[in-house]
Chains A and B, each alone.
Chain A
Amino acid sequence: MNSIEEKLWNYIDGNCSIDEHKAIATLIANNEAYKSKYNELLLLNNEFTGMEMDEPPMAFTYKVMETIRTENARQPLKAAIDTRIILGISAFFIITVAALLVFAFSTVNWTAGTTIKTPELIKLPAIKSYFTGPLIKGFLFFDLVMGLFLLDNYLRKKSGLKHH
């Protein structure tokens, strides 16, 4: 069973039914104990309603926004791109590949023989001629230079981080 105080708080907060509200209003009007308690709680309720809130520091919003900006700047590209875009691109490629496969299989003449012959009109380039000694040496030399360049970059970055 509700105490007087509990009933009166429900009445003040508006958390009781219409019938209960009427009954409590009558009690407040006719019963001295209810009336004095009601006035006491009403005053207390007004005090609570008027309680002061704490003020955050002046730079609060700035600090929050700065943290957010810093986090966004650090965010990798993978996380910055909307996943729907990534899924869309993936779906496009899957559909394209599937459509090409369907088209390719539908145009194959399955009754033809199994031996693969290059059409006579197509002349394949002489690939072997490209892989001559000097060309391969040049390519490897270029790779070596690029490798050294990247290693230098990596070491520079590493030493820069240590200094900071």
Chain B
Amino acid sequence: MQSKLSDIELIEQTLAGNQSAYADLVKRHQRFVFTLAMRFAKNREDAEEIAQDCFIKAYRSLASFQRQSKFSTWLYSIVYTTAMTFLRKKRIDTSSIDDEATYIQIENKPGTYDVNNIENKSRSYYLNQAIEQLLPDDAAIITLFYKGEQSLEEIAQALGIEANTVKVKLFRARQRLKEKLERNLKHEVKELI
């Protein structure tokens, strides 16, 4: 059962030495942090490592959290920097938003599109598949906007960019996601959109 206390109250209890309060914070945010890490890492093992690292980093610097933003916004900025460092270590170039070469292999994965199985697969399956094919930046912005309950300004703060840039990136990311969905579903997309 999750705590009904607010994030700030849990942070105060953690800083006072109550570690179980931090466990409640982890439980509350782990699903989204893990999802966001998955958008960057593209596999569960790496995503788990990134997500764990984020919560440990957040715990270490909890006293420096200024409370001028939501805890989630602060936490997502840690996810973003941790994921970027992790990807750099793994030598995956994610710096250019237009560089899709890295992810061509995912798109061309055998068995990705199988007409006979389409009817059996849910819409969410195709949506998740399309998100997986996006570049990490695009996937992260879409996830933060739709699932992270973050405004454009908060996303900008988490990613360390301007709110207007986020707006443009979100627009382009949605366009790309729509294209991926169309490509994956072909004629089934007519039913979806």
Known A-B contacts A5-B175, A68-B22, A71-B56; the reply to A60 vs B34 at CB < 8 A is yes
> Which chain A residues (40-98) contact chain B, with CB distance < 8 Å?
40, 43-44, 47-57, 60-61, 63-65, 67-69, 71
**Nearest A residue to B32 by beta-carbon distance?**
A53
B123 interface hit (Cβ, 8 Å): yes
Interface size range of chain A in the complex: 20 to 34
Nearest Cβ on chain B to A69's Cβ, whole angstroms: 7
- Please, how many angstroms separate the alpha-carbon atoms of A89 and B177 in the complex? 60
- Does B52 contact A67, Cβ atoms closer than 8 Å? yes
A48 proximity list for chain B (CB < 8 A) = 127, 142, 146, 174, 177
Tell me the A1-51 residues at the B interface (CB within 8 Å): 5-6, 9, 15, 40, 43-44, 47-51
* In contact, B127 and A51 (Cβ under 8 angstroms): yes
Q: Which of A53, A55, A61 contacts B23 (CB 8 A)?
A: A61
> Whole-angstrom distance from the CB of A50 to the nearest CB of chain B?
7
Of residues 129 to 147 in B, which have CB atoms within 8 Å of A's CB atoms? 131, 142-143, 146-147
The reply to whether B124 and A56 contact each other, CB–CB distance below 8 Å, is no
Count, chain B residues at interface, CB 8 A: 38
Most buried by B among A9, A15, A47: A47
Contact B35 A67 (CB under 8 A): no
Q: Evaluate whether A51 and B34 lie within 8 angstroms (CB atoms) in the complex, with A6-B171, A61-B27 already known.
A: no
In chain B, residues 5-47, which have Cβ atoms closer than 8 Å to a Cβ of chain A?
A: 19, 22-23, 26-27, 30-35, 38, 44, 47
State in angstroms the CA–CA spacing of A71 and B55 once bound together.
13
A51 touches B146 (CB 8 A): yes
Check: B1 CB closer than 8 A to any chain A CB. Answer: no
- The answer for the CA separation of A40 and B143 in the assembled complex, in Å, is 20
| Shortest Cβ gap from B59 to chain A (Å) | 5
Task: Enumerate chain A interface residues (CB-CB to B < 8 A).
Answer: 5-6, 9, 15, 40, 43-44, 47-57, 60-61, 63-65, 67-69, 71
Q: Which 5 A-B pairs have the closest CB atoms?
A: A56-B34, A53-B35, A54-B35, A64-B55, A54-B38
Query: Can you show 7 pairs from A to B with CB atoms below 8 A apart?
Result: A9-B174, A47-B127, A52-B124, A52-B127, A56-B34, A60-B51, A65-B26
